[in-house]
Amino acid sequence: VLPLRTMLTFACQMLDRLEAVHSMGFVHRDLKPANFAVERGRDWNMLYLLDFGLAKEFRVPESQAHIPRTKVERLIGTPVFASTNALLGWEQSRRDDIQSLGYVVAYLLRGNLPWQHLTGQSQEERNRKIVAEKLHTNASELLVGHPEEFAILLEHGFKLDFEETPR
Distance, in Å, from the CA atom of 165 to the CA atom of 149, rounded to the nearest integer, reads: 19
DSSP string, the chain: ---HHHHHHHHHHHHHHHHHHHHTTEE-----GGGEEE--STTTT-EEE---TT-EESB-TTT-PBPP--B-SS--S-TTTS-HHHHTTBPP-HHHHHHHHHHHHHHHHHS--TTTT---SSHHHHHHHHHHHHHT--HHHHTTTS-HHHHHHHHHHHH--TTPPP-
Which residues, including other chains, have CB under 8 Å from residue 36's CB and lie 6 or more apart? 10, 14, 47, 48, 49, 50, 104
- 59 φ/ψ angles, rounded to the nearest 5 degrees: -120, 140
Whether 30 sits among the annotated catalytic residues: the reply is yes
Catalytic residue among 16, 30, 51, 96: 30
Active site (catalytic) residues: 30
